[in-house]
Amino acid sequence: MLTRRLLLGHGIAATFLLPEVAAAAPRRLVRPHGKALPLVMLDPGHGGKDPGAIGISGTYEKHVALLTAQDLHRLLLRSGRYRVARTRWRDVFVPLEQRVALAQRQGASLFVSMHADALRDPGVRGASVYTLADRASDPQTAALARNENAADRFGGTGVGTAPPAVARILASLVRQETRVGSAHMAHCVVDSLRRDLPMLHHPDRHADFVVLKAADIPSVLVEMGFMSNRADELALRRPEHRALVAKAMLNAINAYFSSRPGMVFAARHRAG
């Protein structure tokens, strides 16, 4: 039975599914026993000409996402357990497909997209987490996906020169294991966030988010709250609340990698 580890270890996925993976990766930090530390790609939503949601008092989603990602970045590095990269480091626009490509090129082991969107109902508040699915889990999530995907158009990941039948089989195997990993990460996020933060009703949801479409990288989109809710917006404006979100996310990432040691193996092969 082919597994993602086997595919990645022998370079099949890199050859047939993700040509970007073969690109040069940044210098690797390694553990004493020689294994590369897993790379966590943080994706602060929106940026530049795309402000994302705008809160009741004028707070921009793009700023909240970037500030919280910076806090989480520092915590991850301080832990000594990860390499960390970001899709954007300042207030610039990055197309959705480029965010996915950056994670693929650098051989990320985990992709975490950070947002604080808006809904029609200002009474809805709380954090939530989303994974990729062809159909949305509920109408509210479908609306969120439409908002996020409107940033630009996604052209899809190429499959190189593999025969169509082989490419489909390999893609199916890789994507299935990736979705299992994404679902597990989502569970870790919900468990961690709910200890200290208000949560959306049924906080673990799914939809067809473009930014989660990396074929072989477990990916989640975290809504830290809603700019359309006065209480959520006020909380996300406060540095101490964003620090609380970042700490909860660190705990979720720690729990994810502690229960999936094979991810370090996969990261080492994709980067090398």
Residue 21: pLDDT over 50: no
pLDDT, tens digit (0-9, with 9 covering 90-100), for 186-210: 999 999 999 999 999 899 988 788 8
Q: How far apart are CA 208 and CA 231, in angstroms?
A: 28
Distance set, CA 249 to CA 20, 65, 127, 237 (Å): 28, 13, 12, 18
Residue 168: CB atoms within 10 Å: 12
Q: For residue 235, how far is the Cα from the chain centroid?
A: 22
- The confidence score (pLDDT) of residue 26 equals 42
Within 13 Å, how many C-alpha atoms sit on residue 31's CB side?
13
- The confidence score (pLDDT) of residue 262 equals 54
pLDDT, tens digit (0-9, with 9 covering 90-100), for 229-260: 999 999 999 999 999 999 999 999 999 999 87
- The confidence score (pLDDT) of residue 160 equals 45
SS3 149: helix
Q: ∠ CA 81-86-88 to the nearest 5 degrees?
A: 165
Confidence of residue 147 (pLDDT cuts 50, 70, 90): confident
- Give the global pTM: 0.76
Mean pLDDT of all residues in 146-166: 52
Q: Which CATH number fits domain 4-17+36-271: 3.40.630.40, 3.30.70.60, 3.40.47.10, 1.20.1250.20?
A: 3.40.630.40
Mean pLDDT of all residues in 103-115: 96
The one-letter amino acid at 18: L
Contact 140, 95 (CB under 8 A): no
Share of the chain above pLDDT 90, in %: 58
Confidence of residue 133 (pLDDT cuts 50, 70, 90): confident
Q: How far apart are CA 127 and CA 189, in angstroms?
A: 10
Residues with Cβ within 8 Å of residue 47, at least 6 apart in sequence:
62, 65, 66, 88, 90, 91, 92, 93, 94
Mean pLDDT, the chain, whole residue set: 79
Report residue 150 as tokens.
Answer: 């409107």
Q: How far apart are CA 269 and CA 18, in angstroms?
A: 14
Contact 25, 106 (CB under 8 A): yes
